[in-house]
Amino acid sequence: MSLKTVKDIDLKNKRVLIRVDFNVPLKEGTITDDTRIKAALPTLKYILEQEGASLILMTHLGRPKGEKEPAYSLAPVAVRLGELLEKKVIMAPDCIGDEVEKLASGLKGGDVMMLENVRFYEGETKNDPDFAASLAKLGDVYVNDAFGTAHRAHASTEGVAHHLEAAAGFLIEKEVKFFAPLLENPARPFVAIIGGAKVSTKIAVLESLLPKCTTLVIGGGMAYTFLKAQGHEIGKSLLEEDFLDTARSLLKKAKEAGVELILPLDHVVASEFSDSAKAEQVDGADVPAGKIGMDVGPKTLEKIRDAVAAAKNVVWNGPLGVFEFDAFAKGTLEVAGYVAECSGTTVVGGGDSVAAVNKFNFADRIDHVSTGGGASLEFLEGKALPGIVALTQ
């Protein structure tokens, strides 16, 4: 995939309109986690180092649904960005319009302006051409560094790219650098670990990765539909009846392709789905009647450990158990450790697995921890992401 990046375009004396993903959690007007803002700093600082370049930032925050809701104003984000950049960030009164255009045209080299929430307008999510054109008027060149929204064809992620010279920021460049080879020609052994609650949300990922990987690990709640499809008892564990045939089909495909499929060989179960439930070990693939499978057991973990240790590529998406409950977090914690210790290239994507890696402090030992939950999932599904396609044309 040939991607034009911010280093490939001339930024001298240019107003750089950049789409970032500053959809940060706010509590009573205060940012509770500024990870996404910090992640964009390398791109922002690089642009500001170019002679005469100024920055105009656009992002969404929350879901205001096309209404101007003060609770979703980006004013607190502008303040935090100013602290991190150690310079004043001009807060625009809106994201389009005469007043904003006047402010944008008056920017000098080194100036930074934050536009108001692009989702205050319905035209953003509808990718309205007029709205995209109004945004494009503000800048001379366009940079997209919001991987988390690259799977959506919105005005600020896709539409603007049709009006201005467009390039990727360093965040998107890194995401593509790590994800694209997994789908194109991955070094083997290639181990894919796919977890999470439901088969229905991961079918496309399983279908996409199956022909490419040497070992496929299926864990989390979705594993029980596969175990049931194999004829095992699963007690009160999560089951998607409608997807039993899909599970059987994937099992058959794995066998035909010679892909090693690792499903839970043993379990940690409970009588109820609760963080206070007592954890019980089950030594075998069958779950006793009345019990719910909540995590994988030690035999399963041993098998996963051996597969990951020998891998040249590992991709992990989705937890292995109910990791938010401490009594059932061991499987996900152990797998995070195996991935961190692997000498091959390791990529973690998807909200919950990223949360697990951060919770257990393994992030700095993994080659790439994705910034986009839905976007990383769609990338692994082999889908073209509109926000990235717009940068390659």
Which two structure tokens, joined as six digits, stand for 294?
Answer: 């909540």
CB 161 within 8 A of CB 391: yes
Nearest 10 degrees: Cα torsion 194, 150, 362, 313: 50
Annotated catalytic residue within 198, 248, 253, 299 = 198
State the amino acid at position 268 in one-letter form.
V
C-alpha span between 79 and 364 (Å, rounded) = 28
Amino acid letter at 178? F
Q: Is residue 290 annotated as a catalytic residue, yes or no?
A: no
User: Residue 149's CB: how many other CB atoms inside 10 A?
Assistant: 24
Clarify whether 119 is annotated catalytic. no
Which residues does 205 contact at the CB level (< 8 Å), separation at least 6? 194, 317, 377, 380, 381
Cα 198 vs. chain centroid, distance in angstroms? Answer: 17
Candidate list 331, 351, 372, 387, residue with the active-site label: 351
With beta carbons less than 8 A apart as the criterion, state whether 21 and 59 touch: yes
Fill in the amino acid letter for 111: D
Q: Is 219 a catalytic residue?
A: no
CB 170 within 8 A of CB 193: no
Separation CA 214–CA 343 (nearest Å): 17
Query: Catalytic one among 36, 174, 212, 330?
Result: 36
Residues 6+ apart with CB under 8 A from 307: 189, 191, 215, 217, 260, 262
123 catalytic? Reply is no
Q: Is 345 helix (H, G, I), strand (E, B) or coil?
A: strand
Could you give the residue numbers annotated as active site?
36, 198, 351, 374
